[in-house]
């Protein structure tokens, strides 16, 4: 056991030394040895029962070797992991771990194999991003599932694309990089860092947008609007018809 | 019933309205002048309120700035001008409607009457006159007496549609060498060696740019030139594709594997049901879902329909790489893209 811990410490040290800038965490600081150690402790306590003692995966959960820090941060910071029970769709909930513990877990998993790293603060910086182009990219690449207003929509057999209204820019970026659950991966080759920043700016714009007319009804379009109008307008018109036709005394 | 009777005398015209068969129960406003005056006041109040609302709508249109916001309970932050205009104008129209109905219910005559239906047939003289006019025209024109005129007229009328049909056919005949409109239904602007470029950014794509589980919305490289030249968006509506990548062992169909490149498969983006553009790709099931009518295609298996009303598989574009390593089409689609048309089932 001592030998194992020693070997792990050596691996972690080497990792911390050779870690390249692209694999830097969002905080910008390289993962320290203690961070990885604490991450492993958290992992063994909260994740190993499903993902295996060495994150090799089991019959109920995938291997995390090569999952990368971005994937861990996305899944843990949105509260999707640890999972309470396996379902068709893993939903967002209150995160179990705080930001520091999440970073420790991400640092540990990142030592197991190369995978997408969390975006750096520079990658998340949208000061020079183009909002209009972001909208075009969003409608081409994201709106088919997440709805034109980012409110989310249904997929097949009980699965759904979640709303983006509660997502942080880092989570949106990590989702594009890693493709959680049904979502495809949007790699940097076809959706460059600049493209992703444009999209982040547009998502931010969608989150801040107010409804000039009020009652967006989930921005689902004709379904909710039609349902509301049908029930409300038909009730009103039926009431009016009864009043007009009623016997006058 | 204004028919001529046996004696030649016309029957008296039937009245339009007759009293209903039951006694009219008088309303309070019929018997009590005070109630009638009160109803009158109510109607006048409603109309005056409507007039006031219209004035208020005008005032709020002038006074409230377009970007002023207001926080409403339930609705949240909304535009103040919209709320003011909607409330005043809507209330005004409602008051006019309520006033008119109240007026009719309380003050206009409330006696029940029956509206009689009358015979729709024309009178006997009108019918006889029409027949006489037609027969006189027939005799005067000599249509029956001059068969040569009649026959040449019939011939001319028979030939009348022919020039129209010929011109319509020529409208559908393409210039020499170009594909006919019927052939154009089965082709897109993809051709051998045409580069695949990402949508919006129009960047050429290398296989290593597309990760496993990835999805890329893409177009042919010459799309913008074609759109410039023809001035319409037909090419875009037919040539749009999506690229997806899966591990080669996940691809079920050998044909799909052959048409793809190292696990990258290019499929048409246009649903084969009624032509919605679709990119709802679930990377774990490899299913492509059309949001319009829930047609679902299995992209790991030749784009086969696994659910929904679509009748045909999603057409796959054969791809490879050129000498510079960018993804290119090997040929056009091998079947027509988009919804079925009359010559296809």
Name B79's bridge partners.
Answer: B69
pLDDT above 90 for B115: no
* Average pLDDT along chain B: 87
**pLDDT score of B175:** 66
If one compares A234 and B15, the residue with the highest pLDDT of the two is A234
**Residue B301 contacts A, CB cutoff 8 Å:** no
Average pLDDT over residues B108-122: 84
Closest Cβ–Cβ partner in B83, B106, B198 for A248: B106
Comparing A234-248, B64-78, B306-320, the range with the smallest average pLDDT is B64-78
Whether A211 sits inside 8 A of B76 (CB atoms) is yes
- SS in 3 state form for chain B? CCCECCCCCECCCCCCEEECCCCCCCCHHHHCHHHHHHHHHHHHHHHHHHHHHHHHHHHHHHHCCCCCEEEECCCEEEEHHHHHHHHHHHHHHHHHHHHHHHHHHHCCCCCCEEECCCCCCCCHHHHHHHHHHHHHHHHHHCCCCCHHHHHHHHHHHHHCHHHHHHHHHHHCCCCCCCCCHHHHCCCCCCCCCCEEEECCCCCECCHHHCCCCEEEEEEECCHHHHHHHHCCCHHHHHHCEEEEECCHHHCCCHHHHHHCECCEEEEECECCCCCCECCEEECCCCEEECCCCCCEEECCCCCEEEECCCCCCCCEECEEECCCCCEEECCCCCCCCCCCCCCCC
What is the enclosing helix (H) or strand (E) of A48? helix A48-51
- Helix B33-63 vs helix B80-106: angle between axes, to the nearest 10 degrees? 160
Q: How far is CA B308 from the centre of its chain?
A: 22
Which chain B residues in 118-177 lie under 8 Å from chain A, judged by CB atoms?
Answer: none
**Residues of chain B above pLDDT 90, percent:** 58
Nearest CA of chain B to the CA of A34: how many Å? 33
> Which residues of chain B does A183 touch, with a Cβ-Cβ cutoff of 8 Å?
283
Give one DSSP letter per residue of A176-245, joined into a string.
HHH--TTPPB--TTTS-HHHHHHHHHHHHHHHH---TTS--GGG--HHHHHHHHHHHHHHHHHHHHHHHH
**pLDDT score of A30:** 59
pLDDT category at A215 given cuts 50, 70, 90 is confident
**pLDDT score of B172:** 63
**pLDDT score of B3:** 45
pLDDT digits (tens, 9 = 90+) for A144-195: 999 888 988 888 888 889 999 989 999 999 999 998 989 999 988 889 999 9
Closest Cβ–Cβ partner in A185, A215, A244 for B211: A185
**Are B46 and B102 a contacting pair, CB within 8 Å?**
yes
Distance CA B338, CA B341 (A): 9
pLDDT above 80 for A26: no
**Residues of chain B above pLDDT 70, percent:** 93
pLDDT above 90 for A28: no
pLDDT digits (tens, 9 = 90+) for B204-227: 999 999 999 999 999 999 988 888
Owner of token pair 């589980």: B213
**pLDDT score of A133:** 94
Average pLDDT over residues B308-322: 93
Cβ pairs bridging A and B (under 8 Å): 102
> Which residues of chain B does A182 touch, with a Cβ-Cβ cutoff of 8 Å?
282-285
Q: How far is CA B159 from the centre of its chain?
A: 37
pLDDT category at A6 given cuts 50, 70, 90 is low
**Residue A159 contacts B, CB cutoff 8 Å:** yes
Whether A213 sits inside 8 A of B216 (CB atoms) is no
Joined together, the tokens standing for residue B325 give 């390593």
- From B200, which residue of chain A is nearest by alpha-carbon distance? A137
Q: How far is CA B171 from the centre of its chain?
A: 26
Comparing A49-53, B56-60, B211-215, the range with the smallest average pLDDT is A49-53
pTM: 0.71
3-class DSSP state for residue A20?
A: coil
pLDDT digits (tens, 9 = 90+) for B270-298: 999 999 999 999 988 999 999 889 999 99
Beta-carbon contacts of residue B171 (< 8 Å; ≥ 6 apart): none
Whether A244 sits inside 8 A of B287 (CB atoms) is no
pLDDT digits (tens, 9 = 90+) for A81-105: 888 777 888 888 888 888 888 888 8
**pLDDT score of B142:** 85
**Are B268 and B315 a contacting pair, CB within 8 Å?**
yes
Average pLDDT over residues B144-149: 88
* Average pLDDT along chain A: 83
If one compares B256 and A11, the residue with the highest pLDDT of the two is B256
Chain B interface disruption, residue of A190, A202, A246, most B CBs within 10 A: A190
**pLDDT score of B76:** 73
pLDDT above 60 for B256: yes
């Amino acid at each position: 056991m001592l030998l194992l811990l020693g070997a792990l410490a050596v691996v972690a040290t080497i990792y911390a030394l050779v870690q390249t800038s692209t694999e830097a965490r969002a905080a910008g600081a390289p993962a320290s040895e203690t961070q990885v150690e604490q991450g492993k402790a958290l992992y063994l306590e909260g994740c190993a029962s499903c993902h295996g003692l060495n994150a090799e995966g089991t019959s109920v959960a995938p291997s995390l070797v090569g999952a990368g820090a971005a994937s861990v941060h996305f899944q843990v910071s949105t509260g999707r992991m640890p999972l309470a029970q396996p379902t068709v769709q893993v939903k967002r909930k209150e995160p179990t771990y705080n930001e520091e513990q999440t970073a420790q877990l991400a640092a540990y998993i990142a030592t197991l194999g190369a995978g997408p790293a969390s975006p750096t603060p520079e990658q998340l910086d949208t000061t020079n991003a183009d909002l209009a182009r972001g909208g075009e990219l969003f409608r081409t690449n994201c709106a088919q599932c997440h709805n034109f207003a980012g409110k989310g929509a249904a997929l097949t057999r009980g699965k759904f694309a979640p709303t983006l209204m509660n997502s942080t820019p880092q989570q949106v970026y990590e989702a594009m990089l890693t493709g959680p659950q049904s979502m495809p991966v949007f790699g940097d080759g076809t959706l460059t860092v600049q493209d992703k920043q444009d999209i982040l700016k547009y998502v931010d714009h969608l989150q801040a947008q107010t409804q000039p007319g009020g009652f967006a009804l989930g921005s689902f379009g004709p379904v909710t609007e039609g349902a509301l109008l049908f029930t409300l307008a038909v009730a009103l018109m039926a009431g009016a018809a009864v009043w007009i036709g009623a016997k006058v005394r | 019933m204004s028919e001529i009777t046996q004696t030649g005398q016309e029957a008296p015209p039937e009245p339009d309205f007759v009293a209903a068969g039951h006694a009219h129960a008088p309303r309070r406003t019929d018997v009590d002048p005070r109630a009638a005056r009160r109803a009158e006041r109510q109607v006048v109040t409603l109309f005056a309120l409507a007039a006031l609302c219209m004035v208020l709508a005008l005032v709020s249109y002038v006074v409230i700035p377009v970007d002023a916001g207001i926080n409403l309970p339930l609705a949240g932050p909304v535009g103040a001008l919209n709320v003011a205009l909607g409330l005043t104008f809507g209330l005004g129209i409602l008051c006019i409607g309520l006033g008119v109905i109240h007026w009719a219910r309380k003050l206009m005559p409330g006696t029940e009457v029956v509206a009689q239906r009358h015979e729709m047939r024309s009178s006997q003289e009108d019918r006889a006159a029409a027949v006489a006019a037609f027969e006189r025209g027939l005799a005067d024109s000599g249509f029956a007496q001059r068969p040569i005129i009649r026959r040449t007229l019939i011939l001319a009328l028979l030939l009348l549609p022919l020039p129209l049909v010929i011109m319509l056919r020529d409208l559908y005949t393409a210039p020499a060498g170009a594909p006919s409109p019927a052939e154009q239904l089965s082709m897109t602007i993809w051709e051998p060696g045409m580069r695949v470029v990402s949508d919006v950014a129009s960047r050429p794509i290398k296989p290593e740019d597309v990760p496993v589980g990835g999805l890329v919305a893409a177009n042919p490289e010459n799309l913008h030139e074609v759109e410039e030249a023809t001035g319409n968006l037909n090419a875009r509506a037919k040539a749009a594709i999506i690229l997806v990548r899966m591990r080669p062992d996940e691809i079920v169909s050998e044909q799909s594997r052959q048409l793809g490149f190292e696990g990258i498969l290019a499929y048409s983006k246009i649903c084969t049901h009624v032509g919605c553009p679709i990119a709802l790709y679930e990377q774990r099931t490899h299913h492509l879902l059309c949001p319009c009518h829930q047609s679902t295609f299995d992209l790991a298996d030749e784009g086969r329909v696994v659910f929904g009303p679509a009748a045909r598989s999603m057409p796959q574009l054969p791809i490879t790489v050129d000498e510079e390593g960018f993804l290119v089409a090997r040929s056009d689609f091998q079947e027509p893209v988009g919804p079925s048309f009359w010559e296809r089932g």
